[in-house]
Structure 1
Amino acid sequence: MKASLNTHFIVLGCVVLTLTAGCAKMNFAPVPEQDKAAVTPPTPPPPPNKTVSTTEVVAYGNKQVDFLFVLDDSNSMLPELKKLAARMSTFVSSLDASNIDWQMCLTTTRGLSSGGSLVYGSPYNWANYTPPSGAPAYLLKKGTGNLNTIFTSTIDTLTIGGGSSGDERGIKAAHDHFVNKDAHGCYREGAAISVILISDEDERSVGGVASRVKANDAAAVLQPMEAEDRPENLVAKSKSVFGEDIRFTFSSIIVKPGDAVCEAEQDKDTSPSHPGHVYEELSKLTDGGVGSICDADYSANLNTFKDKIVNSLSHLTLECQPVPSSLKVSIDGLSIHNYKVDKNVLKFTYSLIEGTKIDLQYDCIEGIP
């Protein structure tokens, strides 16, 4: 044991002598904490944009359009509904003369009492109408004779005022009409859907905004906006019920926000009017039309609304908002450039023909759906 320990001491002494001789003139200092903190890892590169390559074929039978008229049947609407009944001839004539395979249902903005609660979006039977064998009286179809008489008679038979009519819920009515589509059969698979609302007030009269209540409004005019009253939820419901590719427009004939002259004119009726802020928002959200309830003739607006849904056959919803320089579009194998892009909607300058093959390639703008 002694010999071994002596050997270890000799080796250790050599190591100490060697280190002392080699490091005597070197000065070691600790690294300052701030220098350590300043050292950061490099920023990773941004993720690459998603590239989409897809082929779409314009479906056959896409000239089918299913209309839903939503009429405000509150007290103040009597003059407007009479005007509508008297001025529908141009609209129905152009509708029937078009190559659109249309059908139409009607509902009102009021809730109907059923089992102790209010039910919205119930179909309303057309008056002086004999439907085809087996078809319900609330489903009006292309090719029906005496359309002017049917429209006029139906509007004349509406109950105006009373009940819950003062709480106008046009969006809620359309929402519940969509939800119950299987019960009434107003919508066909793959058909475009066009909702047309006519009202001199907003959703729930004032759109849930206290500052829009007028001095001579009814006491309960201010009601909270529920989920089924909101524009974005009706759009979402249309997609969940009819499919992501549904061609859906919501058009409205209303007191246009900012039109003080029209609003003052409407205020002379039985009860005050209110600009349709929420209805206008939904119309813009779905690329629908907005007309003034003060127009002397509604037929021009109604024809515009009809054209809106027909023209939407030339719209194509992209998976995301594309990087403009990355978008490549080919029609039946031929590269084209006569289109424009509005966010994630590709709009052609002409209507697409059934069977047309569209090849698309584009990069998504990162973070924008």
Structure 2
Amino acid sequence: MMKNLGWALLLALSFNLTACLENQGSVEFGSAGSGTNTNNDFSVVTEPSPTPTVEPSPSATPVPPSGEAAVFQINNGAKLTDSSKLELSFISVFSAAYLKLSVGSDCSGGTYEPFVDSKMYQSAQTNQNVTLSVRYKDYDNRESECLNASILIDEAGPDIVFAKYPTSTVEEGSDVEIVFTVSDVGSGIDKVTCTFAGVAKTCAAGTNTIKIPSMVSGTYTLAVSATDKLAHSSAKSITFEVSSKYRSLVQNVQVTPNKKVDLLIVIDNSGSMEYEQKNMAKRVQNLLSVIKGLDWQIAVTTTDPRDVTLGDGRLVQLTGKKGQYILTSAMADSEAQSLLGATLQRTETGSGDEQAVYVTYRAIERSLSASGGNVNFIRPDAQLAVLTISDEDESKNGTKNDPQSLLNFISKTYGGQKAFSFHSIITRPGDTACKSTNGYAYGYRYEQFSKLTGGVIGDVCAADYAAQVSGIADGVRKTLKTFTLTCAPVVDAMRSVSVLKDGQPYAGKFSVNGVNMVFEADLPQGQYQVYYSCVK
């Protein structure tokens, strides 16, 4: 009996010891959370830009029962860096054999590689917030939860953009207004300095409005420089002339009986246009009905200035019409309207550096080439109109971004024979209701260009574009009754605008809108001479 009891005790002890060893071998994963202005007084009004913030990366770090958490860090947890070369640190919660690194926060990319404690990583993304994620795996193919970390890479200096400034010679005694913005999406602005005519002036981060009254003759430069909190710097300047002298001009224009007009629509396809893009086809559905009876051509390009398929002034292929880029009045009305609406309804997300003036310049250059989708769009004997639809303003200040440079290019290219008008549906300057909702930024330069060419200015935030599109379409019709002059004529007690037709005074009534003379009635065929004066 005692012998049997001893065997039973021995078996019981053996069973308990085995169970204990098996428990110790288990692993569990948990989770845890040169001229001088004699009047140096001018005012500067600055609207501060929002201070950039760096969002902390969400925590998705496993917490094992022991309380030790897995770790994934970029640059030892820093939230900001001035280099795209990053140091990554890896700490697992178990004996990890492999790790998988992904771009983004959800560990959806990458492939497993042998585990290391740290490594250097060259980011392809720069000047933006970069998020990376990692997942660990042991020799038994058990995976940890997804860990992620973010860091803001700032390798560029601040952005300095002149939104409003003199685009041609300013008449002596005039007031000048200049608007420019200084911003930095990375570390933020540390310092901004400005000089006007060599004299230091107060300016700051955000939107600056400078008003200079009663300018005297001379050459003036406004220079702006800025430094961010990582010591990156940028500098931009604009120079303009103030003159009291005039030049007398005569411009010859041949009027033919045709009614040809080419209309280029520049549509903003950036991400901020999501609201306006909704029902775009319906918003412009009455355009063709107003220009009915004209020999018209219509094409579409985007505000994207990049050298990509849908950028740099290239025409957009008509939706559903492979290899076709141009709508014509020879098409059935219903077909043309359907194609126009579908083509304007953009689904891609283009560049946020909208440049409608620049892409218009490039679209004309491309139309003059021997190949490509733009060929034959701008006809030599047709007038030209542009309609821009955008919730932001021109973002750069190069030669081809300048309205007067574009007008000079058109005049030189077509010998002063092509009438031109620029219409815009924009966030109109001063419309605070639009800007605070869906109008991302005031369209200062587009408004200025429309006024310079007598164009219509519409509201991009409007729920229905019907009324303003009708006005724009009527403006396109008026292009056929328009002379575009090489500069805005001066009309005062000493100077006027006069017109001869075939050598005789022409009595037709007209109005002057910027550089455009618009006649009330259709112009009879013939040779016209326009006499006018402009500021030198």
Query: Match for 1:155 among 326, 344, 347?
Result: 344
Residues in 2 aligned to 1:55 and 1:238: alpha-carbon distance in whole angstroms: 15
For 1:139, the equivalent position in structure 2 comes to 326
Is 2:424 aligned against 1:256? no
Structure 2 vs 1, CA of residues 345 and 324 (structure 1 numbering), >3 Å: closer, same or farther?
A: farther
- Paired residues of 2:290 and 2:474 also in contact (CA < 8 A): no
Residues in 1 aligned to 2:426 and 2:458: alpha-carbon distance in whole angstroms: 6
Structure 2 vs 1, CA of residues 81 and 330 (structure 1 numbering), >3 Å: closer, same or farther?
A: same
By relative contact order (CA 8 Å, sep 6+), the higher-ranking structure is: 1
**Offset from partner CA, 1:138-196 (integer Å, 9 cap, x none):** 1111132322321232234x2332xx511111111111111111232211112111111
- Paired residues of 1:248 and 1:309 also in contact (CA < 8 A): no
For 2:295, the equivalent position in structure 1 comes to 101
Displacement after TM superposition at 1:315 (Å): 3.3
For 2:304, the equivalent position in structure 1 comes to 110
Is 2:403 aligned against 1:231? yes
Displacement after TM superposition at 1:103 (Å): 0.6
Residues in 2 aligned to 1:347 and 1:67: alpha-carbon distance in whole angstroms: 18
Structure 2 vs 1, CA of residues 350 and 159 (structure 1 numbering), >3 Å: closer, same or farther?
A: same
Is 2:319 aligned against 1:127? yes
Tell me which protein shows more strand as a share of its residues: 2
Matches within 5 A, 1:124-203: 124-129=316-321, 136-145=323-332, 146-156=335-345, 158-161=346-349, 165-183=351-369, 184-185=374-375, 186-203=377-394
Residues in 2 aligned to 1:351 and 1:342: alpha-carbon distance in whole angstroms: 17
**Offset from partner CA, 1:322-354 (integer Å, 9 cap, x none):** 77687665657576374455677554332213x
For 1:14, the equivalent position in structure 2 comes to none
- Paired residues of 2:510 and 2:519 also in contact (CA < 8 A): yes
Query: Match for 2:284 among 63, 83, 88?
Result: 88
- Paired residues of 1:126 and 1:138 also in contact (CA < 8 A): yes
TM-score scaled by length of structure 1: 0.66
Tell me which protein shows more helix as a share of its residues: 1
Structure 2 vs 1, CA of residues 314 and 148 (structure 1 numbering), >3 Å: closer, same or farther?
A: closer
Residues in 2 aligned to 1:347 and 1:155: alpha-carbon distance in whole angstroms: 29
For 2:450, the equivalent position in structure 1 comes to 283
RMSD: 3.2
For 1:293, the equivalent position in structure 2 comes to 460
Q: Partner of 1:336: helix, strand, or coil? A: coil
- Paired residues of 2:426 and 2:459 also in contact (CA < 8 A): yes
One-letter identity of the residue aligned with 1:168: E
Q: Partner of 1:238: helix, strand, or coil? A: helix
Matches within 5 A, 1:328-343: 329=499, 336=507, 338-340=509-511
Displacement after TM superposition at 1:82 (Å): 2.1
Structure 2: state its 5+ residue gaps.
1-245
One-letter identity of the residue aligned with 1:259: D
Q: Partner of 2:387: helix, strand, or coil? A: strand
One-letter identity of the residue aligned with 1:251: H
**Offset from partner CA, 1:69-100 (integer Å, 9 cap, x none):** 111001121221223212222222333xx221
Structure 1: state its 5+ residue gaps.
1-48, 131-135, 205-223, 268-272
Structure 2 vs 1, CA of residues 191 and 329 (structure 1 numbering), >3 Å: closer, same or farther?
A: closer
Residues in 1 aligned to 2:512 and 2:303: alpha-carbon distance in whole angstroms: 35
For 1:351, the equivalent position in structure 2 comes to 522
Displacement after TM superposition at 1:296 (Å): 2.3
Residues in 2 aligned to 1:53 and 1:244: alpha-carbon distance in whole angstroms: 11
Identity between Structure 1 and Structure 2 (%):
28
**Offset from partner CA, 1:288-320 (integer Å, 9 cap, x none):** 111011222213222222222322333345687
Q: Partner of 1:102: helix, strand, or coil? A: strand
Residues in 2 aligned to 1:326 and 1:278: alpha-carbon distance in whole angstroms: 28
Structure 2 vs 1, CA of residues 242 and 299 (structure 1 numbering), >3 Å: closer, same or farther?
A: farther
Q: Count the aligned residue pairs.
A: 280
Q: Which moved more, 1:229-238 or 1:324-333?
A: 324-333
Residues in 1 aligned to 2:342 and 2:516: alpha-carbon distance in whole angstroms: 40
Residues in 2 aligned to 1:54 and 1:226: alpha-carbon distance in whole angstroms: 28
